[in-house]
Amino acid sequence: MSAQLTVGIIGAGPVVQAIHLPTLARLTETFRVAKIMDVDQAVATEVAGRVDAVGVTDVNDIIGDPAIDVVAICSPSQFHSEQTIAALRAGKRAVLTEKPLAVSGEQAKQIAAVADETGVPLFVGAMHTFDPAWLDAQPYLDELRRGVRSIRSSIVLPPNNRFEDWATEVVQRPEMQIPTDFGPEMRAAMMPAVVLGLAIHDLPLVRSFLPEDEATVTAAEFIAPFGYAISVRAGDVVADVSGLMHGHWQPMWEFDVVSDSAHLHIDFTPSFVQAGSGTAVFTDESGTRRFGLQGHNGYEGEWRALAAAANGDLSLMPSRASLIDDLVLAVDIGDAAAALQLEGAQS
Amino acid sequence: MSTDQIVLAPEPEIEAFTRTLSASLPRSVAIDVDHGSTAVIAGTGDWVARIGSGAAPIAIVVDPQPTDAQAVRTLAADASEVVLSETFAGNPAVAQLRERAADALGSATLMTLVATGDVSPATALLEQLRLLRAVGVTEITVSDSQVTSGSALVTASGVGLGGSTALLRLQTATTTAGARAHRLRIFSPGAIVSATLPSSDTARPATVSVMDGSGALHLPDISEHAHRATLRDLTDRRARDLSEELTQLADDLELIASITA
């Protein structure tokens, strides 16, 4: 067995506290968290202390530390590009950047160029692309792609803290800033945020079924306080990209693809809690097959894939091109949805 | 033969199905293809013309599919006694949903409908519109529609039972995978209602649940499809304003025509 990989995590917010640290606690034979960085020393120290790591406030204490094998970038999105490039250039064994990889397509291309140049394995935290339900169904998906007609990504969730509080004891939870005015300009401003904050979870799955025709956003509705209903058309394929953070307790995190002769439906488990994998149901003329229902979710899947890549097995590492294309699609959808809010107001 | 029996005169293409209905209502329903007083018309092709050419004073139209809206409007004006029997909108579970989830229907902010099955997008969209009507949605206004040969995605708004405006999302996909089904979700501040409605080739019950802060309530299963319910309630159905129902169908057909144009 390979030696433990030493991990440095940039960011100590709820996602790190409630997702990555509990996930890494299930993988202690593979990973050891050595440092956690936060701009607030007290937060960094407390969160790091939970895993016997060192809390630091300077990014370079992690990126520049040769003892750190793997850097996980879980900072606010606007810092992802610069920090990812720095981690790649530092010659780490692997880098995991939380989604979104960057906030513009140009940034994503710069990151990919550096990843090519350095050869460092790069992963984006698109956890459902590593969920056993998704991976196990892969052998059947080419059949689906040949005649795809309709895609549906629907993410209906309770507030995050419902699950965070079952996963850990969060320190310094950022307050949700809920606007009170949902006029056109506010809706336009919120659209990229909801796309890059929520829709992005499954946009890589959506993109994998879209034909190469240019995808067009034909409708976009902002659903207060935090939701969206976006229509995407690419050739003869329609895609419903919808999400809603509601006040109820029941999560409904679903993904559907329907072709002329096959149907894939996936129910994903909520983030934060270790609720195992999603469940995929694939139906065609030969019958129905069920996949997933495994004991680990996509977050654990992505860390496992990263460990494999750090040790030379790149079979589950996404291509650089796909990372760029995933981000460009998300940015384009967010921008187009924002523009539709303003156009609607003008008309 | 009881004097209260309904004597059906089905069209040839729907006779076998009608016999399965009468078999489940052996005391109430009989079949006399040549002399029955209630015609059973398949809602395919030019079904309006076929009603007009029949001799029976009453007609039941099973699953009316998209046709010329003006012809339906004329039929409504003729005071013809035409009863619509619709697999999805007429599923008894929908009436139950309307009664048991009235609060959610009255304050809905979002309704999503997904249809899969081996039917055209136009037919599936019409079924979805009829389903929305059945749960009390009016004043449906379409803001975007994407319709291909095998799928559709429509964004609209509508006014729910309580007078509040809800965002409506209708998605259809034509596929041979699996049985036909419609799924309806209604989101309101107090509850989420989910209904899955199967086709009428069996008595498989719809599943309807109402989820609120206290938990999730699975409404009682009703193992009866829409068309049996239509026959069982035919007397009551005939007492309703059938002309108004046909007029509403004509409105929906016009909307479908504009969406799919």
Chain A, nearest residue to B157 by Cα? A221
CB contact under 8 A, B212 and A248: yes
- The Cα–Cα gap between A73 and B252 comes to 52
pLDDT of B183 over the 50 cut: yes
At position A145, the amino acid (one-letter code) is R
For Cα atoms A258, A265, A20, give the angle at the middle one, nearest 5 degrees: 130
Q: Which residues between 12 and 71 in chain B have a beta carbon less than 8 angstroms from any beta carbon of chain A?
A: none
The yes-or-no verdict on residue A79 having pLDDT over 60 is: yes
How far apart are the C-alpha atoms of B32 and B8, rounded to whole Å? 6
Q: Tell me the per-residue pLDDT of B42-82, one tens digit each, with 9 for 90 and over.
A: 999 999 999 988 788 999 999 999 999 999 999 999 878 99
- The answer to whether A215 touches A199, Cβ cutoff 8 Å, is no
ipTM over cut 0.85: yes
**pLDDT tens figures, A168-189:** 999 987 777 777 788 889 999 9
Instruction: Tell me which DSSP letter residue A16 carries.
Output: I
pLDDT reading at A2 higher than 70? no
Nearest CA in chain A to B118: A260
| Helices B121-134 and B92-100: angle between axes, nearest 10 degrees | 40
B178/A283 touch (CB, cutoff 8 Å), yes or no = yes
Per-chain mean pLDDT for chain B: 94
The pLDDT > 70 percentage for chain A reads: 99
Reading the block at residue B47, the tokens are 């079904």
Cβ pair B172, B184 in contact under 8 A: no
Question: Distance between CA atoms of B118 and B173, rounded to whole angstroms?
Answer: 8
CB atoms B153 and A236 under 8 Å: no
- B104 shares contact with chain A (CB less than 8 Å): no
Q: Are strands B110-117 and B181-187 parallel, antiparallel or unpaired?
A: antiparallel
Residues in chain A: 347
Parallel/antiparallel/unpaired status of strands A31-37 and A5-10 = parallel
Question: Taking residues A293-301, what's their average pLDDT?
Answer: 96
- Hey, are the CB atoms on B171 and A150 less than 8 Å from each other? yes
Mean pLDDT of A76-105: 97
Q: Which of B103, B118, B171, B192 to mutate to test the interface with A (most CBs of A within 10 A)?
A: B171
- Provide mean pLDDT across the span A19-35: 97
For residue range B129-168, what is the model confidence (pLDDT) as tens digits? 999 999 999 999 999 999 999 999 999 999 998 899 999 9
Q: Which amino acid is at B175?
A: T
Which H or E run contains B122? helix B121-134
pLDDT for A212 beyond 90: no
Which chain B residues are Cβ-neighbours of A229 within 8 angstroms? 110, 155, 167, 169
Report whether B158 contacts B138 (CB < 8 A).
Answer: yes
List the Cα angle A99/A101/A103 in 5-degree steps: 105
Give the span between the Cα atoms of A183 and A200, in whole angstroms. 24
Instruction: Work out the mean pLDDT of chain A and round it to a whole number.
Output: 94
Which tokens in the block code for residue A166? 């079952």
For the record, the structure tokens of B2 come out as 């009881």
Q: Which residue of B has its CA nearest to A216?
A: B146
Amino acid letter, residue A293: L
Q: For the CA atoms of A320, A323, A326, A330, what is the dihedral angle to 10 degrees?
A: -130
Kindly report, residue by residue over B25-50, the tens digit of the pLDDT.
Answer: 999 999 999 999 999 999 999 999 99
Q: Do A221 and B176 touch (CB under 8 A)?
A: no
- Is residue B251 less than 8 Å (CB to CB) from chain A? no
The pLDDT of residue A1 is above 50: no
Whether pLDDT at A145 is above 70:
yes
For residue A224, what pLDDT is reported?
83
* Partners of residue B110 in chain A, C-beta under 8 Å: 223, 227, 229, 244
Q: Is B237 helix (H, G, I), strand (E, B) or coil?
A: helix
How large a percentage of chain A has pLDDT more than 90?
87
Cβ of B150 within 8 Å of Cβ of A150? The answer is yes
Q: Going by C-beta distance under 8 Å and a sequence separation of 6 or more, which residues neighbour residue A267? A: A252, A253, A254, A278, A279
Bond prior to A100 in cis (omega within 30° of 0): yes
pLDDT class for B3, splitting at 50, 70, 90?
low
CB contact under 8 A, A238 and B191: no
Bridge partner list, A252: A156
Chain B residues touching A256 at Cβ < 8 A? 114
Measured CA to CA, the distance from residue B206 to residue B197 in angstroms comes to 5
Contact A248 B149 (CB under 8 A): no
As a whole number of angstroms, the distance between CA A271 and CA A189 comes to 25
Which of B173, B191, B212 lies closest to A258 in CB terms?
B173
Q: Do B167 and A152 touch (CB under 8 A)?
A: no
